[in-house]
Amino acid sequence: MHYKRILLKLSGEALMGERQYGIDPKRLAEYAEEIKSVVDHGIELAIVIGGGNIFRGVSGASRGMDRVQGDHMGMLATVINGLALQSALEDAEIQTRLQSAIKINEVAEPFIRRKAIRHLEKGRVVIFGGGTGNPYFTTDSAAVLRAIEINADVILKGTRVDGIYNADPEKDKKATKFDFISFEDVIKKGLKVMDTTAFTLSQENELPIVVFDMNTPGNLLRVVTGENIGTKVNL
């Protein structure tokens, strides 16, 4: 296998499927099958999921809500998504643990680095909820932080587009896709891969990022086995 231990970053919006908000059980089941195909190959997999399908702290703040309160609501939204994904994975007979950066012991383990690594070594999928546990940090930052902490080989960012383009492919039909791009070029070209804090943290720790289309069946396994799917960002 091309990678031994990966961190998969999913947006909360990805769980909406065809809906306008909330969680689509059909999409959850599809993702569970994709994840199962990777786990069945013996790859260690951790997941960070956003909460934008339920609540975004930034959008709450823009409407006059206290930013810290809003971000705490967003963290709780990621735990809700984590519980939903955990349920779908367990329906697919995948052993799963949900760890939260904020204490919510009745529904999730607290995040403990050594325990998370032990779960991965035992073949369990670990879902990290609650972001970083701090306001003003996105789930992109949480994904990079957790990936570094568990010594992941790569961050796989599953999106609805098939990689990084020089313009928005949904708006510009002439947009060109990159197969490979350096961290430096992403910054120079002003491309939006992750927020600046997350991206810089990934760059400083020499942690590659692969942006790919998670909604195409089989893509996750193709990326993990080394096929040239999506866009790889590295040094």
Q: Enumerate the known binding-site residues.
A: 9-12, 51-52, 56, 71, 132-139, 159, 165, 168
Annotated binding site for UMP: 51, 71, 132-139
What are the binding residues for ATP?
Answer: 9-12, 52, 56, 159, 165, 168
- Sign of CA pseudo-dihedral 76, 80, 85, 86: positive
Tell me the C-alpha distance between 3 and 64, whole Å. Answer: 44
Taken in order 35, 40, 41, 45, the sign of the CA dihedral is: positive
Instruction: Annotate 130-196 with DSSP letters as a single string.
Output: STTSSTT--HHHHHHHHHHHTT-SEEEEEESSSSEESS-TTT-TT--EESEEEHHHHHHHT--SS-H
- Largest Cα–Cα distance of the chain, in whole Å? 50
- DSSP tag of 122: T
CB distance 193 to 209 below 8 Å: yes
